Amino acid sequence: MDPLFGVPALVVLAFLGINSVKVTSGGQSRLVERLGKYDRQLQPGLSFVLPVVEKVVSHESLKERVLDIPPQQCITRDNVAIEVDAVVYWQLLEHARAYYGVDNLQAAMVNLVLTQIRAEMGKLDLDQTFTTRSEVNEVLLRELDQATDPWGVKVTRVELRDIHPSPGVQQAMEQQMTAERQKRAAILRSEGEKESQLNAARGRAEALVLDAKAKQEALVLEAQAQAQQQTLLAQARAEAATRLAEAMQANPETSEAIRLLLARDWMAMGEAMAGAPGGSVLMVDPQSPASLLAALRGVQAGPQQTPPKG
């Protein structure tokens, strides 16, 4: 063999041998075609590929990846322009289906996500886009997972990152929020003033009730005291008259002493009658204690009303 011919052959063989050895890392996948037709998927570790006959056509990661969705102009159901961007977490499960099912997997996924975002935002009002973000994320996740299943892709999570209305809409929203806060503040102030007035009215009413109860109790106590005083006086007079009558019956000689006492009372009564308005006349026999007692009782009882003459 010619030495000059043998050296290039060895070089070619060495080059082909090096290219036929493939080392696949964990979490990675390689697709091999044999004579232009899909043959197999190389597993992690050391693999051999036949030179010229076989060829590695795709090398992808099987780990979960993040797809950053650029801001997208959307129109809400109430015709408000907003700008929405998102982030999608996905994982390649079947490398062969993704390689042979779609030409550019990442571009296809971006366009699919943008289309789904526009469709979902068009179903919501502006206020709902802020309050139902978690529900929208779940809907996007379900729809994207179904749409990418033929490509061997698993969508694990979808998150709407930012929702930005147009500058005019933002200004109108700020004005609305300011007006709403002012309205709430005015309502709270009015409720506070109302409660204060009600408390003051309740206080005045309770004070009046307590004052009326105090006056009523004072009048009741005063009336009870006067009634008790009159009762005691009446009892004392009745007892004195009874004892006087008993003394006169038991000892007739006491009549003279009683007559003198009655005369003294009669003189005092006369002085009182002299100063009475309208004047009064006392007809009594000083020699008769019984008539004098009757007269004194009449005077003490007050002037008698003269019955009208027919």
Among 184, 217, 250, where does a domain finish? 217
Longest dimension (CA), the chain: 194
Q: Is residue 150 part of a domain?
A: yes
Q: Is residue 275 part of a domain?
A: no
The pLDDT score that the predictor gives to residue 2 is 47
Among 165, 182, 201, where does a domain finish? 165
The pLDDT score that the predictor gives to residue 289 is 55
Element spanning 90, H or E: strand 81-92
Q: Is residue 236 part of a domain?
A: no
Q: What value does the CA radius of gyration of the chain take, rounded to a whole number of Å?
A: 61
Structure tokens at 164: 């930005």
> What are the φ and ψ backbone dihedral angles of 251, each rounded to 5 degrees?
-140, 100
Residue 147 sits in which domain range? 64-165
Q: Are residues 138 and 80 in the same domain?
A: yes
Total number of domains in the chain = 3
Element spanning 270, H or E: helix 254-274
The pLDDT score that the predictor gives to residue 309 is 46
In the numeric block, the tokens 């007035």 are attached to: 197
Q: How far apart are CA 225 and CA 236, in angstroms?
A: 16
One-letter identity of residue 196: S
Q: How far apart are CA 38 and CA 58, in angstroms?
A: 11
Structure tokens at 197: 């007035």
Q: How far apart are CA 125 and CA 134, in angstroms?
A: 15
Structure tokens at 290: 């019984």
The pLDDT score that the predictor gives to residue 253 is 66
The pLDDT score that the predictor gives to residue 138 is 92
Among 61, 88, 103, where does a domain finish? 61
Q: Is residue 242 part of a domain?
A: no
The pLDDT score that the predictor gives to residue 285 is 55
Q: Is residue 210 part of a domain?
A: yes
- Residue 87 sits in a domain whose CATH number is 3.30.479.30
The tens place of each residue's pLDDT in the chain, 310 residues long, gives 445 445 555 555 455 555 666 767 777 888 888 888 888 888 877 777 777 787 888 888 888 999 998 888 888 888 888 889 899 999 999 888 888 888 888 899 999 999 999 998 888 888 888 888 889 999 999 999 998 999 999 999 999 988 888 777 767 667 777 888 888 888 988 888 888 888 888 888 888 898 888 888 888 888 888 888 888 888 887 887 777 677 767 776 666 666 666 666 667 666 666 665 555 555 555 555 555 556 555 555 555 444 454 4
The answer to whether residues 98 and 170 touch, using CB atoms and an 8 Å cutoff, is no
Q: Is residue 279 part of a domain?
A: no
Element spanning 214, H or E: helix 167-250
Pick from 71, 35, 75, 74: which is nearest to 55 by CA? 35
Q: Is residue 237 part of a domain?
A: no
Structure tokens at 171: 């200004």
Dihedral Cα 13, 17, 18, 21, nearest 10 deg: 170
The answer to whether residues 121 and 84 touch, using CB atoms and an 8 Å cutoff, is yes
Q: Is residue 45 part of a domain?
A: yes
Range 155-194 burial, b when 16+ CB lie within 10 A, else e: beebebeebebeeeeeeeeeeeeeeeeeeeeeeeeeeeee
